Structure 1
Amino acid sequence: MTDSERTGSTPGLPPTPPPLPPQAEPTGPQPVPANADEALEIGRNHFREVGSPGGPSGLFVHEFDIGYLIHASWPRPEDPTAPPMELGGSNVVIAKADGEVSFLPNFPPEAAVELYHGTYRPNGA
């Protein structure tokens, strides 16, 4: 079977990827951090272990008016001219009001907070 014979494929274009698996719904209320240390503990669940191969060299918390931004530092590459081994990365924000976890592009903290302010809608809003 050729790509153009597959359902949903268009000749000359790459095949249509399979649908994403359904995301698991939270099994209970999300913890609401009372301070930056608690936010960091929640945020750790969304990054590889600090110091592990491919993992960050450190995690940091940037507290702002409506949340906590968790961002990672990465070790210096052996060859700074080589492309990164893994592309992307993200910041994690934990809302102070309800503990909702959001993912933002790996922008500097101030830019990430500004983006979050423009997109955050509390659960149920």
Structure 2
Amino acid sequence: MEIGRQHFPEVGSPDGPTGLFVHEFDAGYLVHASWPTPEDPTAPPSSPGGSNVAISKENGDVTFLPNFPPAEAVELYHRFYRPSDS
């Protein structure tokens, strides 16, 4: 959680997430955020995008993944992650 926390705004801060969650999977940990419901759900987001953070159990590599649901993000991680040389 500490590694993942470094890559998100502080929980509860202005424009920050309402919480951070860790999803453990075979090769690592997926850290993802929950965000407050916008006041106007029809308005475009104030800051588009967002990402999940995957942390390798093997070497601590940090990989940024699209803000997909955990199962889809983990599948993408398995398809594209390549360990660093360090």
Same fold, TM exceeding 0.5?
A: yes
**Alignment correspondent of 2:68:** 107
CA RMSD of aligned residues (A): 1.1
Is 1:56 the counterpart of 2:21? The answer is no
CA distance in 1, matches of 2:12, 2:5: 12
- 3-state DSSP of counterpart to 1:78: coil
* Structure with bigger RCO (C-alpha 8 Å, 6+ apart): 2
Deviating beyond 4 angstroms after TM superposition, the runs of 4 or more aligned structure 1 residues are: none
TM-score (ref. length: structure 1)? 0.67
**Alignment correspondent of 1:17:** none
Residue of structure 1 aligned with 2:32, choices 62, 71, 89 = 71
CA distance in 1, matches of 2:11, 2:54: 18
Which consecutive unaligned segments of at least 5 residues does structure 2 have? Answer: none
How do 1:5-20 and structure 2 match up within 5 A? none
Percent identity, aligned pairs only, is 72
TM-score (ref. length: structure 2)? 0.96
Number of residue pairs matched? 86
Q: Which amino acid counterpart does residue 81 of structure 1 have in structure 2?
A: T
Please identify which structure carries the higher strand content: 2
CA distance in 1, matches of 2:41, 2:83: 40
CA drift at 1:124: 2.1
How do 1:26-45 and structure 2 match up within 5 A? 40-45=1-6
CA drift at 1:122: 1.4
Q: Which amino acid counterpart does residue 78 of structure 2 have in structure 1?
A: H
